[in-house]
Amino acid sequence: MATTEAAENQSPAQADDGNARTRDNNRGGGGGRGRGGPGGGRDNNRGRGRGGRDDRRGGRGGDDDGEELIEKLVHINRVAKVVKGGKRFGFAALVVVGDGKGRVGFGHGKAREVPEAINKATAAAKKKMIRVPLKEGRTLHHDGKGHFGAGRVVVRSAPAGTGIIAGGPMRAVFEALGVADVVTKSVGTSNPYNMIRATFDGLTNQSSPKSVAQRRGKKVADLLGRGGQVSEAEAQAEAEAITE
C-alpha cells in the first residue's frame, strides 16, 4: 500500500523522469554486457588467431634455418652478349656452401643481376652437398689427390695448430667444410671452376677407418694396430675416439 500511495503521490513529470533513467540504465548495462561479451570474445579470438598464425610462420622459418650453413662466394664472371641494340650483360656466380661439420657442396648460377645469380648458385650448391669424413672433426684422415681437366690438387692431413694452408677457391671449400688443419697444393690451372671440381674429386676419395673396417670385415682396432707397432690398448683407445 505504501508503494502504491508513493506512486500515486508522484507527479506525471517525476514518473516520466524515473522511467527514462531506468531505460538508460538498462541500455548501459546491456550494451556493456554485449560489448564485453560477444564483442570482446571476437577481439580475443582474432588476437589469438593472428598470434597463432604468426607463431606457425615463425616455426616454419625456424625449421628452414635450423641448419646454419656457411656460404662462400668464390667467383663472379661478367659475360656480354652482342645484340642489334648493343650489349646485354649477364653474370655467373660460383658459390661454396657447407655446414662446418663435414658437409660441403658447390654450385654455379647465371642471371642478369648479381644477387639473382648468387641465389641460383646457392640453391644448386645446397642440392649437391657431399659428406666428407673428418679426423677428430678438424682434419682429413689421410692424404689424397684430385684432378679435373687441367687442374690437379694435393690435400694432406696436418697436426693441430697448422691451420688451413690453401689459397683461392680451395680455402673457401675447407672453411665451409669445417676443416681446421690441412695442407694443400694446386698444380696446373688457376681456373676456379676446375680447381673446385678437382678439390671435390680429392675429397670424395677420402675414407675413414670405420668405413674401411666395415668393408673388409675387420675391427677398427685391428686396422690401427699398424703391424704391432702400436699396443692393443692404444689401438683400442684410438678406435673408440673415431666417430666416423
Residue 116 binned pLDDT confidence (cut-offs 50, 70, 90): very high
Which tens digit of pLDDT belongs to each residue from 211-220?
788 877 877 7
Question: Could you tell me if 163 and 78 lie in one domain?
Answer: yes
- In terms of domains, do 180 and 79 share one? yes
Query: Residue 244 has what pLDDT?
Result: 52
Same domain, 218 and 138: no
How far is Cα 40 from Cα 13, in angstroms, rounded to an integer?
39
Query: Do 27 and 138 belong together in one domain?
Result: no
Specify whether 191 is located in the same domain as 83.
yes
pLDDT the model gives residue 241:
57
Q: Where would I find the H helices in the chain?
A: 2-9, 12-34, 40-64, 114-127, 169-177, 192-204, 209-216, 220-223, 232-241
Domain containing 163: what range? 70-204
Of 14-28, 104-118, 122-136, least confident by mean pLDDT is 14-28
pLDDT tens for each residue of 186-237: 998 889 999 999 999 999 988 887 878 887 787 777 766 555 455 556 555 6
Could you tell me if 116 and 194 lie in one domain? Answer: yes
Average pLDDT, the chain: 76
Query: Are 222 and 164 in the same domain?
Result: no
Total number of domains in the chain: 3
**Shared domain check, 189 and 134:** yes
| Residue 130 phi, psi (nearest 5) | -120, 160
| C-alpha cell read off for 14 | 517525476
Do 92 and 182 have their domain in common? yes
* 148 and 228 housed in the same domain: no
DSSP line for 77-105: EEEEEEETTEEEEEEEEEEEEE-SSSEEE
Query: What distance in Å separates the CA atoms of residue 176 and residue 102, rounded to the nearest whole number?
Result: 9
Does residue 95 sit in the same domain as residue 188?
yes
- Whether pTM > 0.75 for this model: the answer is no
CATH number of the domain residue 99 falls in: 3.30.160.20
* Dihedral sign for Cα atoms in the order 130, 136, 141, 145: positive
pLDDT digits (tens, 9 = 90+) for 151-160: 999 999 999 9
pLDDT digits (tens, 9 = 90+) for 65-85: 557 899 999 999 998 999 998
Same domain (yes/no): 35, 100? no
